[in-house]
Amino acid sequence: MENFEEDELGLKNLPLCREPWQSYYILRRGILPCCHGEKPIAPMSEWATAWNGPALQEIRRYLSQGKLSPYCLSSLGCPIVQKYLERKKQELRLAALSPQTRPRWMRLVNRLFLGLPARIYRSLQK
Amino acid sequence: MEKPMVKELVYGAGWYAEEHDGFQPFRWMGREAWLRLSLDPGKGERLIEIIAGHSFAPEKPKLKVFIDGREAGEREIHPAFSVYLFRLTGEGEVTINLTLNRVFHAQGDGRELGIMVRSIRVINLEELLEPLYGEGWYEWEKGEIFPFRWMQGEARLFLPFSWRKGYLLMPISSEYFNQKQILSILWKGKEIGRWPLLYQWNVYSLDLSELPPSGFSDLKPEEDKGLITGNQKLVPAEKENLFNRNDLKEAEVFSRAGSSEPIELIFKLNRLFPERYHPEDRRELGIRVGPISWHQDEERHRDILFFHENAVKNYEEMMAGKTVLTSYPTNLGIDLYSRCNVSPPCVYCLYDRMKILEGKDKDVVVDDQTLASYGPFFNAARTVVNCSFGEPLLHPRFEEILEFCASRGKIVELSTNGQAFTARTIRALLGKPIYLYVSLDAASAETYAKIRNERFNEIVSNLIKLNEERKKMKGLPKIFMVFMPMRVNLHELEEYFRLCQRIEADALVLRPLLYLEKPDIREERGGYLFDYEKELLSPEEIRKVISQAEELSRKYKIPVANQFEFGQVAEPGRSKL
């Protein structure tokens, strides 16, 4: 038996989503790269070519760079996208609340107006 | 199964009285013990099979077996009950002596304890009709898909002689996602199969027809580590003559030569399933292996080879971030039927919108021939998933489609509203590797009427009928009861678990209601105004439902398949449903 490394099962470092490599949907409404895909990427009859067509290539390219493609981000029914958007929303909220992340001029304005602009911004966020 | 050829088995000195561990009886053996067998006169090779274990993990005492004073071999005995085989010689009265290199003392038990022996029997290898599991296999366990045995790092398997002219079919589940777990299969020391194992359950096919008859083998048998070696019954002259007779099939040759030695295979893994992923199970675990079968369908064998080769390549291309692939997907979505029997459609269904999107393709025929025409896209698929906006059970060629997919070894996933169960559709589903997702979403007729119609009780009674029928057919199809948490049914989650228990469902599926930005879907049904936007739960509410479902799953012993976790890899040791 060989010695084991830390991620010996290979469960880490997988793409954000594996569907565009492992799955393919040939449906009457069109070709979909996954079961949560919002818009078809090609008509049903083009199943033989759409597998390596420009739309799927772009989706794979984004995922291989650790990002979600515009196609994925428009497929709001996807639980991966939902989680991603929820996380992003939370990050934005935290960033808005954190004085360190604000630009210098905004901090200055804030100080001049006793923090009123930040309070208005936060209430709008809510 | 092979006939036990023991007339009488007498336990001599060294054995304690029979006990019971809650599953089956066993006997403790001390440092030394003997027993006497009275064997029927029989030709050919015989083995004595001892199923033994002990409760002193991680120790592995060594058991030495002597038959009529001659040493037959030595084995390390694992704690979990396992099979140990020794070559048996002699006829009539045979005395078997067993000795252990060490014994143990349990607290509060004054006895000197060695190993627990569950059973001892004699096997005539020439009468073997099905696989005989030797060392390296644990007992059968109940799995999510089918029963299986865990294999250790190395294991031995005997196959009937008649299996030479065909292919061995093995469902195997590996915990390695990265395909770094490799299974080698050896016959008389020669590697006849080497598979990088795919993640979780997949079928593998091994060509046995290429094996030369063992009596002719010029390969050296495995160095004796107590393993059985091939017999050498044929004299060289016969050997030469027979080799020249190419027109004769090997099986015929062997029956003429009077030999029908079974195929002995050694399975070896390069890596185990690491113990840190199963700390509560201290056994040496390698892979799970389902029921092994045999076939003679060359096309099926080629299909499986293609599937395996493609799946390996597909993983490699994904990990390399390739955007143009030479491999094909391992999961194929299809669109079987475009019409539905629930009219008006279910309140949340986007049926009408989809029919507009389908346009002229709405009337395209998709059947078994269509699937065959997908060529490598169909051949490469492990799973075929129906995603039609239409009820698949209404398809006029439903039986033929399922028959075709089953004959090609595909797992078919079907979502159904459960309103098209007839004697015909039930018969078509039975005994096939099908995951049937039944969309009920309600545990009462009242809630069901708010989502669909008045047919709740009829569906439940059909599901009970289907469950009774599938029990006679290896528990297939698998029944997964779908529950989409929405405001309309949120109060019925626990009741839905009870319903799953009644139906004896394999799992409850938590499926998200499709998120739509501005759905603008409102419909009055069953005295309830279904407003799509209001039915969607917030992330916080969803988290609550999931944790409640996990709790209820433990209470009602119904597994939960959580589709909110789409895209996540299953926890090691667990099958992703």
Contact A4 B271 (CB under 8 A): yes
pLDDT value of position B1: 38
The lowest-confidence range among B43-47, B255-259, B554-558, B559-563 is B255-259
CA distance B476 to chain A (A): 25
CA distance B30 to chain A (A): 33
pLDDT value of position A92: 81
CA distance A38 to chain B (A): 10
Residues of B in contact with A82 (CB under 8 A): 512, 515, 539
Q: Is the pLDDT of residue B246 over 50?
A: no
Strands (E), B142-270: 149-151, 154-159, 167-174, 182-187, 190-196, 200-207, 263-269
CA quadruple B95, B100, B104, B106: dihedral positive or negative? negative
At A124, the pLDDT band (50, 70, 90 cuts) reads confident
At B568, the pLDDT band (50, 70, 90 cuts) reads confident
Q: pLDDT tens digits, residue range B289-341?
A: 999 999 999 999 999 999 999 999 999 999 999 999 999 999 999 999 999 99
Q: Is the pLDDT of residue B226 over 70?
A: no
Contact A82 B539 (CB under 8 A): yes
Altogether, the residues listed in chain A come to a count of 126
Check residue B395 and report its DSSP letter. Answer: -
Structure tokens at A89: 């929303």
Contact B539 A86 (CB under 8 A): yes
Residues of B in contact with A77 (CB under 8 A): 512, 514-516
pLDDT value of position B213: 63
pLDDT value of position B270: 97
Residues of A in contact with B334 (CB under 8 A): 25-27
CA distance A102 to chain B (A): 28
Contact A25 B387 (CB under 8 A): yes
What phi and psi, each to the nearest 5 degrees, are found at residue B454?
-95, 15
Predicted TM-score (pTM) of the model is 0.83
Give the percent of chain B with pLDDT over 70. Answer: 89
**Residue B43 burial class via C-beta count within 10 angstroms: exposed 0-12, middle 13-18, buried 19 and up:** exposed
Instruction: Supply the ipTM of this predicted assembly.
Output: 0.83
At B259, the pLDDT band (50, 70, 90 cuts) reads low
Q: Return the closest-CA partner of residue B497 out of B435, B455, B558, B410.
A: B558
In chain A, the residue whose alpha carbon lies closest to the alpha carbon of B180 is A9
Q: Which candidate from A4, A51, A76 shows the least CB-CB separation from B515?
A: A76
Contact A28 B362 (CB under 8 A): yes
Interface test with A, best of B178, B272, B351 (most A CBs within 10 A): B178
Check residue B514 and report its DSSP letter. Answer: P
Q: Cβ(B290)–Cβ(B140) under 8 Å?
A: no
Q: pLDDT tens digits, residue range B384-411?
A: 999 999 999 999 999 999 999 999 989 9
Please state, rounded to an integer, the average pLDDT across all residues of chain B: 88
Q: Is the pLDDT of residue B231 over 80?
A: no
Q: Is the pLDDT of residue B234 over 80?
A: no
Q: What is the 3-state secondary structure (H, E, C) of B425-484?
A: HHHHHCCCCEEEEEECCCCCHHHHHHHCCCCHHHHHHHHHHHHHHHHCCCCCCEEEEEEC
Three-class DSSP category at B146: coil
Q: Is the pLDDT of residue B215 over 50?
A: no
The lowest-confidence range among A26-40, B125-139, B213-227 is B213-227
CA distance A48 to chain B (A): 8
Place of tokens 């020391």: B189
Residues of A in contact with B385 (CB under 8 A): 25, 35
At B28, the pLDDT band (50, 70, 90 cuts) reads very high
Q: Which candidate from A21, A40, A58 shows the least CB-CB separation from B318?
A: A21
Residues 6 or more apart whose CB falls under 8 angstroms from that of B87 comprise B45, B46, B47, B72, B73, B228
Contact B314 A23 (CB under 8 A): no
Contact A79 B330 (CB under 8 A): no
CA distance A71 to chain B (A): 15
The lowest-confidence range among B174-183, B374-383, B564-573 is B564-573
Q: Is the pLDDT of residue B89 over 50?
A: yes
Residues of A in contact with B411 (CB under 8 A): none
Amino acid letter, A100: Q
Residues of A in contact with B482 (CB under 8 A): none
